[in-house]
Structure 1
Amino acid sequence: MNNKNILKLIKGQLSSEEEREVVDWLFNNPKKRKQYEILKAKYVAKNLRESKNTTSIFIANKKRNLKNTYKYAAVLIVILTSSILTWHVLNNDLANNNTSTIVSNSLILITTQRAEKKEIILEDSTKVVLNSNSVLSYPKHFSGDTREVTIKGEAFFEVTKNEKKPFIVTTDNGMKIKVLGTSFNIKSYSEDKNIETTLVTGKVKVIEENKNTVVELSPSQKATYIKKEDKMIVEKVNTKNFTSWKEGKLIYNDTPMRQVIKDLERSYNLKFNVTSKEILDYKYKGEFDNLNIYQILALFEVSSPITYSIQGDIIKLTKIKG
């Protein structure tokens, strides 16, 4: 795979099978997704310039040939409208970090950066809220007997019910979640130790493909797949603790500090330097309700044996002795 493949994807010059291969490649290569964003922006800008040049030509022709005034006026309206829309979309995408949306003939790949969330409505009206530092891949049109999407990172799904076409979410870690119509949260970051599926309403089947292990969840249950041990644990939970990130809240109940730190790094686009393993293993309990990072650090000092210092763009956490 190289930049030629990316350009062909942008220009719509690939077959459906080739599109899938390139999108899957981009799905697992963040650096290549960045290259896509740059190439896409250049391609749109080039088309915009060409549209403007064409507009100028038609204006000149219009002056020389009054008989075609109405015809050229109609063409000008189409071209100018197209140029304005292209410019508007390009600038909005750049301003809102939406250049990470890849649209091919049959597949769509949407990514979020750190400290960014996106809401997506699929063709079947299924609603997806994509958390920070995540990737979602799905077809423009659901064909066949299933509705299949792929997730890397975290997302909350509200699936439109369709008994004839089950909705299947695949993670990049060999897990599948199969539903008909329900709402649930998936957390599947490649760097995390676990994959979590939390069911809010309806029913889901969580499938671990390596051993073909199938677990059916009921509302308020969470299935945790422990990668290192290759096993699944099901427990009853308060779903609010695992879905409130959509409203900007982070809730923890005896959660290892290593997980809290990872969540904060993704949500606030920052980096921690932890000076001791004891801090990483410390079980934290608390709620961050749309707080800024300084308020969160102040809470750490009040509610845990941890102090902090800021060195440039890195936050250093140190265990309080005593």
Structure 2
Amino acid sequence: MDNEEVKLLLVKYITGEAAPQELEQVKQWISAHPENEQYFAQLYETWHNMLYLQPKVVNKYNAYDKFSGKIEPQTQTRYSRLIYWGKVAACVALLTALSVTFYKRYSKNIQSVKQIAVNHGYIKKVVLSDGTLVWLNAGSKLNYTADFGKTTRTVYLEGEAFFEIAPGKKEIPFIVNTKNYTVRDIGTKFNLKAYATDQFLETTVVKGEVSVEGNAESSNREMNRIYVKHHQVLRIYYQPKKESYSYTAPDTKNMNEIQVTEVDEAKLNLYDGWKDNLLVFEDATLKEMAGVLERRYNVTIHINNDEIANIRYSGSFKNVPDIEKVLSLIMENTPIDYTRNGDVINITKTNNN
């Protein structure tokens, strides 16, 4: 089979349109070489990402740009130009076939996408159909299709979640897609933080191992797969979209920086304590804390100047139901004051004069 036949066959296989004979062809092709398996996995994840996004995201012209961009330009002789445009024509024909197959299946499956959403101020624990336990933090969304646990164990996360993966079903990998990255479970327990308003992805492995790689939406999609092991934390910073919201860059040397650090078991609650109603801050700026407190207590926090926004604080709060109690404890160690009007809190610097 040539490349175009392989691609079309893989799409048919992934979308459930392949005949029995074609199913066997795909299995043989995948098992023939590790690179074939990797290519199949990328296409498989792209398909499932499509299911979780809104229909307006499906854009055949964008798909064509990405697909045709992989065609290498030829030397500009008359003969090579004919070859080049022949490839373009073949690409267009293949894209049309792919679009029809994808969209046909997409239209049927988009209706079966299920979503679990957690409002600000709440935490939710759910059990997926494969037995996996998931804790969802405030302001988070988890999407998955109706066939989850049968032919796929792929979910799409926006926000923060702690996963305790059910044993068994090793033949169907557990995959968490976020907007920019794909996380594959190779272990048992891990925390994943990927809020749209945060300028980083963070995953903490409590037990086992995960792998992380860029996906089609990521500026780092070509990065090598990163393996995060037991008691390690991976944080990947990426460039903010200035048109969406203002943002003060974190204290890192470079954006798109990749950091992997070890963490003592005693300090794991800094990353996953939230699921047990524990808020832990270690050398966090007041601005960083405000983002966490806004989601936890369903309020809006304004800080009136950069000086106090960058004040650093360490401390923990267990089962504190009211944000005013949290703020009063912070005030004991930091020079701040605040006023509250409904759900809006304004933090100011203490006037010592």
Which aligned pairs between 1:1-322 and structure 2 lie closer than 5 A?
Answer: 24-25=53-54, 106-142=112-148, 146-161=152-167, 162-172=169-179, 174-209=180-215, 210-228=221-239, 229-237=255-263, 238-291=267-320, 292-321=322-351
C-alpha deviation, 1:107, in angstroms: 2.3
Alpha-carbon distance between aligned partners in 1 of 2:144 and 2:165, rounded to the nearest angstrom: 14
**Residues 40-65 of structure 1, C-alpha deviations (whole Å, 9 max, x = no match):** xxxxxxxxxxxxxxxxxxxxxxxxxx
Partner AA of 2:258 in structure 1: M
Kept in 2: contact 1:163–1:180 (CA 8 A):
no
Alpha-carbon distance between aligned partners in 1 of 2:232 and 2:49, rounded to the nearest angstrom: 34
Alpha-carbon distance between aligned partners in 1 of 2:149 and 2:319, rounded to the nearest angstrom: 40
Cα distance 1:21–1:226, how it changes in 2: closer, same or farther (>3 A)? closer
Gaps of 5+ in 2: 1-14, 18-47, 58-108, 216-220, 240-254
C-alpha deviation, 1:128, in angstroms: 0.7
SS of equivalent residue, structure 2 residue 53: helix
Partner AA of 1:295 in structure 2: K
SS of equivalent residue, structure 1 residue 212: coil
1:90 maps to what in 2? Answer: none
C-alpha deviation, 1:233, in angstroms: 0.6
SS of equivalent residue, structure 1 residue 149: strand
Cα distance 1:287–1:143, how it changes in 2: closer, same or farther (>3 A)? closer
Partner AA of 1:186 in structure 2: L
The percent identity for this pair of structures is 31
Gaps of 5+ in 1: 1-14, 29-102
Cα distance 1:144–1:248, how it changes in 2: closer, same or farther (>3 A)? closer
Alpha-carbon distance between aligned partners in 1 of 2:213 and 2:236, rounded to the nearest angstrom: 10
Alpha-carbon distance between aligned partners in 2 of 1:20 and 1:205, rounded to the nearest angstrom: 18
Kept in 1: contact 2:270–2:280 (CA 8 A):
yes
Question: Once superposed, what is the RMSD of the aligned Cα atoms?
Answer: 2.8
Kept in 2: contact 1:145–1:166 (CA 8 A):
no
SS of equivalent residue, structure 1 residue 141: coil
Alpha-carbon distance between aligned partners in 1 of 2:149 and 2:288, rounded to the nearest angstrom: 38
Alpha-carbon distance between aligned partners in 1 of 2:226 and 2:56, rounded to the nearest angstrom: 27
Alpha-carbon distance between aligned partners in 2 of 1:304 and 1:198, rounded to the nearest angstrom: 29
Alpha-carbon distance between aligned partners in 2 of 1:241 and 1:227, rounded to the nearest angstrom: 22
